[in-house]
Amino acid sequence: MKINIDGIKALGEVLEEGINYEKLKRLVKTKSISKFIDHERALDRKIDKYILVEEIIKLKIHKDYKDKFYLYILRENLSRLNEELENITLKEEKIINEALSKVYKILPEYINICPKIYLYGGGTDGGFSLYGKEIYINYIKYLGNIEEFIKVISHELFHCRSIPLKNKLRNYFQLNLRKRYLYEVLGKIFEEGIALLIQHGNVLRKDDPVGSITREKLSLVDLEFKKLNTLLAEIKDEDIEYINIKTIDYYTLGYYMVTFLYGYYNREILLPWMLDLDYKPLIKSFILGNREKENCIRFSKDIEIWLMNL
């Protein structure tokens, strides 16, 4: 595994020098920057290579300008960026091994993880992964914070674990619409929850740098369970619009549910999802564990009965 710094390095050079249109053209063609643009567009965010170049030019012309992609943070910290990129190159193996070590505290060590890692700069996200083969980290969010940088790599590494294709096909394309929605909702909750457990541990001592999970959000988890219960009722009754699936805070629900499962049972309870993408043992164990430990019911009676009989 390697950490490719070409994109973020090229971005730093463009911000450091005068306006150079040839370098700007090359910048937006680098893999990390082009994938960043694709990622933002997939989330319906207004960006293309022309908008990005326009924002960079404004940064060069107006010294106090703060662009919509937060590139001004790099402009104001170019010396630190160059120093840290050099340090990442020197300590690349150590960084990757520390991130992998965090993953394998939860995931069995025989599961292969071997993506390519790219650094980019821009936007609000901390990073993303593609097809289990590539990881993209927004280094702007981790400038000056190597600990959080390693933690976010561990998060994305989990998403890149090797899962047999037959499991992915069995758990998605062969399901009817209601089961597919249920798989998408509960699956994403457990997928992101386990990734956050790996990233932050089972006790959230400080908020995530990009706000994916915060102590304030956890304090409001009851509200998220009400939203989830409503969404599950719509799925159960086959009366749901797909857009409603996007209204759930998967990170808060996921972190809460997974840390409960991990603490009450152990990491083995997470294996059905981590290895086979089977969410059923996890949701059933969560319901039973809440009854036993918390004397608490998180779902309405009919939803609970439905989930327990999946």
pTM: 0.94
CA distances from 206 to 199, 202, 218 (A): 12, 12, 12
Q: Interior CA angle at 180 toward 179 and 181, to 5°?
A: 90
pLDDT the model gives residue 172: 64
The type of residue at 201 is G
Return the structure tokens found at 212. 């994916």
pLDDT the model gives residue 241: 84
CA distances from 177 to 193, 207, 237, 239, 276 (A): 24, 36, 12, 11, 20
Alpha-carbon distance of 111 to 190, in angstroms, equals 18
Beta-bridge mates of residue 120: 138
Where helices occur in the chain by DSSP H, the ranges are 6-16, 21-29, 31-42, 49-61, 72-75, 78-90, 92-103, 146-159, 165-170, 177-200, 215-219, 221-236, 250-264, 271-276, 280-289, 301-308
Q: How high is the mean pLDDT in each 10-residue block of the chain (310 residues)?
A: 94 88 89 93 90 93 92 95 97 98 97 96 94 95 97 98 81 75 95 98 96 96 96 92 90 98 96 96 96 81 94
pLDDT the model gives residue 278: 95
Alpha-carbon distance of 154 to 158, in angstroms, equals 6
